[in-house]
């Protein structure tokens, strides 16, 4: 999935850390200074010489040591602006869909951006000068992290992407509800993977497939059906930018606005503590369920286990909030 316009840039560079070391995915190498980059690129699309390069290096960390991930290149598409196909905003990217030109696509970055491996990043880090970065900015590479940004550290970045269109394949199965067939509960996760497929998405996809199998067997053996229609949705092209789910929802937007009542997703499930996110309207329901489900390792509810962990290792604010809620 291309993430920026094709460019050829030569400029000084520096270091900025966007995430903590405790995160499994660390955006650790970007430009120290962005001023004048956009204006310079607008006047000269081929070479920027008076601005700072924007380099993005994703380092997937295994414990405290970075792996040489030369082939592990995630997407850095501007998802906070809008997910999905950048050429079909707010409409499904079907075969015959009207598409924007690349120049008009808002989520294809105009500033040069490219994910690189830790192997390549280390070479760049070692030529940086200047003050040492704060401890919370330091990564796991065996070197001294410095801000850089001096004229002695110069890099050339050439971006040339493959802009071919390729199909993505969603798999949708439907169990029609017995009482409210026009009220839809969507149960989803993606099936495409990027490097760590056993965890993301398969640990979340397997429960979805097992639920679909159980629903099918219940209907076949007993005639049972859920009261509402359940759509089991297995999305494609999630990793490059939530493409499969976004485009399907955009294509079916009118029907979803009329019929969808809930969406339940499981992705990257793991042993350990409970982790949930979603609509606040479901908070009470989720809390009740968490108090009922027993953690197989400790024998207490998954809610109590999470509370105990936060009371021991959480921040001062978390501890205060947990005590207040229990009281």
pLDDT for the residue 272: 81
pLDDT for the residue 7: 81
Q: Is 238 a catalytic residue?
A: yes
What tens digit of pLDDT does each residue of 69-95 get? 444 455 556 676 889 999 999 999 999
Q: How many Cβ atoms are within 10 Å of 194's Cβ, its own excluded?
A: 14
The residue annotated as part of the active site, out of 238, 239, 247, 250, is 238
Encoding tokens for residue 296? 């197989």
In order of their start, the domains of the chain are 1-165 (no CATH), 166-270 (3.40.630.10), 273-327 (no CATH)
Which residues on neighbouring strands pair with residue 228, listed in sequence order?
Answer: 180
Record the pTM: 0.75
Is residue 52 a contact partner of residue 10, using CB atoms and an 8 Å limit?
Answer: no
Q: How many Cβ atoms are within 10 Å of 279's Cβ, its own excluded?
A: 9
What tens digit of pLDDT does each residue of 11-45 get? 787 777 654 433 333 333 333 333 233 333 333 33
Low-confidence ranges of the chain (pLDDT < 70): 1-2, 17-78, 80, 326-327
H/E stretch holding 261: strand 260-265
How many residues in the chain?
A: 327
Is residue 138 a contact partner of residue 145, using CB atoms and an 8 Å limit?
Answer: yes
Residue 74 CA from chain centroid, whole number = 9
């Amino acid at each position: 999935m291309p993430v920026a316009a094709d460019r050829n840039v030569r400029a000084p560079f520096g270091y900025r850390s966007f995430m903590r070391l405790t995160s499994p995915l660390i955006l650790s190498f970007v430009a120290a200074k962005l001023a004048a980059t956009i204006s310079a690129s607008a006047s000269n699309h081929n070479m920027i010489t008076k601005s700072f390069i924007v380099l993005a290096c994703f380092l997937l960390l295994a414990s405290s040591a970075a792996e040489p991930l030369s082939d592990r290149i995630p997407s850095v598409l501007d998802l906070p602006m809008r997910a999905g196909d950048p050429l079909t905003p707010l409409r499904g990217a079907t075969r015959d869909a009207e598409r924007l030109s690349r120049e008009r696509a808002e989520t294809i970055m105009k500033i040069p951006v490219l994910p690189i491996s830790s192997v390549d990043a280390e070479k760049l880090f070692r030529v940086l000068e200047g003050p040492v970065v704060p401890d919370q900015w330091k990564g796991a590479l065996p070197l001294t992290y410095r801000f850089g940004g001096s004229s002695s550290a110069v890099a050339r970045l050439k971006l040339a992407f493959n802009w071919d269109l390729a199909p993505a394949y969603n798999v949708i199965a439907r169990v029609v509800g017995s009482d409210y067939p026009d009220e839809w509960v969507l149960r989803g996760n993606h099936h495409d993977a990027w490097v760590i497929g056993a965890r993301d998405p398969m640990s979340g996809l397997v429960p979805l497939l097992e639920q679909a199998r159980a629903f099918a067997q219940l209907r076949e053996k007993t005639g049972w059906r859920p009261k509402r229609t359940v759509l089991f949705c297995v999305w494609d092209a999630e990793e490059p930018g939530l493409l499969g789910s976004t485009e399907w929802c955009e294509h079916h937007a009118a029907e979803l606005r009329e019929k969808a009542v809930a969406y339940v997703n499981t992705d990257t499930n793991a042993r350990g503590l409970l982790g949930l996110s979603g609509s606040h309207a479901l908070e009470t329901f989720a809390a009740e369920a968490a108090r009922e489900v027993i953690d197989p390792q400790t024998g207490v509810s998954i809610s109590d286990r999470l509370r105990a962990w936060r009371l021991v290792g959480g921040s001062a604010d978390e501890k205060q909030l947990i005590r207040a809620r229990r009281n």
